[in-house]
Each structure stands twice: as C-alpha cells, then as structure tokens.
Amino acid sequence: MSVLVLTEQEIRQVAELDESTLTQVEQAFTWLDQGLVSMPPVMHIEVDEQSDVDIKGAYVKGQAAFAVKMASGFFGNAEQGLPTGSGMVVLLSAETGFCQCVFLDNGYLTDLRTGLAGAVSARHLAPEHVDTVGVLGAGAQARYQVESLKLVRDFNRVLVSGRSAENQQRYATEMADRLGVDVAVADSAEQLVKESQVVVTTTPSRAPVLSADWIHPGLHITAMGSDLPGKQELDPVILGSADLVVCDSRAQCEIGGELQHGVRIGAIDAADVVELGRVTSGQHPGRQTSEQITVSDLTGTGVQDTAIALATYAAAVAKGCGTTV
C-alpha cells in the first residue's frame, strides 16, 4: 500500500491562509452540528510543566478518509531559539484504515486551522465595522489569528501586548509590513482592550490576562489560548456578562477552555453556551446588534484537522506534490 509523504515546504505550497481554506475550516464546524462527526476526547500527554502533546482526530460520515494529529507544545524551546510548537498529521482511509498520507508539517496545519477558526468566529460574531484589533500575546498564533481575521473584517490598526518588549516590537514591525496597517505596542492590556472592537487572546496563561472591568459594549473576544484544564486567559465574570458565548466544542471547553472557569464559579451555565457549528450552519444568528458583547471560546477540535487534511491532500495530489513510498 503506497503512502504519500508531504514535507512542510510542499504543504505550504498547497495549503494557504486564504478564503478557500477558511471555507474548509468553517465546514468542519457545520459537520459537527449536522451530527456527521465521530470525534473522541483529546488525548493529552503531559511531559513536564512546560511541555505536552495533544492527539486529536475525527471521522466525518461520507468522507473517504480521516485524520489523526499529534501536536506538541514545548514552551521551554524558546530559550533555545527553537519553535515552541510542532506536530504531524496522518490521513487514514475510511474504507481500509490504511495510511494514505503523512503530513510532516511541523505544526503548520495546526497553526493554519487554528488561526482560521478564529476568523470563522469573527465572521459571525465580531461587529461589522472594526477599526482596531487588540491581540494579547506576540507569538505564532498572534500572527495567524490577526492575519486570518483580515479575511473577514477590514481593520486599520492593531495593538499588541506581549511578555517581552523585544517580542512585542518584532511583532509590530512584521505585522505592519504583512498587513499594511498600523501596528503598535499597547501601553497596557487595559488600554488594548478598551480601544479595540475585537480582542484575541493567544497566551498559555493559567491566570486571567483580561479583566471584566475593561469590557465595553460592541466588543468581541476570541479566546484561544486555554485548551487544557487549569489554563485561563479571561476573568470568568466576562462569560456571565457577555450577551453571547460561543464555543467550538462544549464538551472540550467545559474541560479545558474558558468555560471550565465560568461554570466553576457559577458565572454561566454550560447549557447557555452556543456551539460554533450552530452558527455556521445557520441554526443560530450569531451577533445581532452592534452593541452586543460576544465571546468565542476555542480549544481546537479534531474535525478541523480532518477538514484541513482532506483539503490539503486533494490539492497535493492534484498538483503532483510529495513523495510516494
């Protein structure tokens, strides 16, 4: 049985941050709402306080193949000048279970589908008119999230707040060139939130980095850093005061997302949280007024990995990319 092997460079040639890939990621959430997805709980391997591996996957009824992904987060790598995240994906035949493709993407597909999931949320939940976007964190996802957001909202300014002055300034310089908008380092996280219409949190924090006191009418928050028990970026009071809270998977978010903290203190009932697939499928309207406060709690789902793997595999085969072994 032959297997197609794709390197990161080859994958980047056929899977890009564009409208087509955004559509594939959005379809993943709709599949969930349609009841077409078999998706097990996340398998988590904790190596130490700074290092872990997640294994995710999902089968979608009617699709010829499905993906299983291993993604690592070794945050101590930064001290060695190495990327903190990596990973790989395998695509298995839904008929035989045999491996069809190995994606040696070094975490690129995860970064791409995660950033685009933020854009899917913003398409349906962010205010129509956005002047300023605030991003907490200055790493890879701070880049993917904001660049993806540009596909669905036209904004003029980005404020960034990170852990080091060097990282903040590097982010500001790179993203100003990439997006063609003004990108500045915020004086504080409070200023960033109060001056933004969309805020994206991208940190591995275990304590709130965003206070309920800073929230204002019309704000949309995409919180994507909390994906494990104990992680937290938002003051949980925010979930109770928001007009609409949406999550990618209620089951996952109750365990590892912001929802875990909101439910624990009684700020919100999990039953009141809308899954993103309800919105993408048209069963829920999403944002309805410019003054609503909306929150999107994203932990990353295996069906996103299957969706982007299927699309990447089809594009690679069509273009003759990769090595067959």
Element (H, E) at 101: strand 99-104
CA distances from 162 to 85, 102, 168, 202, 203 (A): 18, 34, 5, 10, 9
Read off the tokens for 45: 């391997």
The C-alpha atoms of residue 239 and residue 244 are separated, in whole angstroms, by 8
**Annotated catalytic residue 194:** no
Residues 6+ apart with CB under 8 A from 316: 4, 6, 10, 11, 14, 101, 322
Read off the tokens for 227: 């994906």
How many other C-beta atoms can be found within 10 angstroms of the C-beta atom of residue 164? 10
CA distances from 316 to 103, 292, 312 (A): 11, 42, 6
- Residue 107: phi and psi, rounded to 5, are 90, 0
Catalytic residue among 56, 61, 69, 319: 69
The half-sphere exposure of 294 on its side-chain side, counting CA atoms within 13 A, is 29
Element (H, E) at 92: strand 85-93
- Residue 161: phi and psi, rounded to 5, are -135, 120
Element (H, E) at 176: helix 165-179
The C-alpha atoms of residue 315 and residue 63 are separated, in whole angstroms, by 16
CA 110-113-114 angle, 5° bins: 80
DSSP state of 66: E
Q: Would you please indicate which residues are annotated as catalytic (active-site) residues?
A: 69
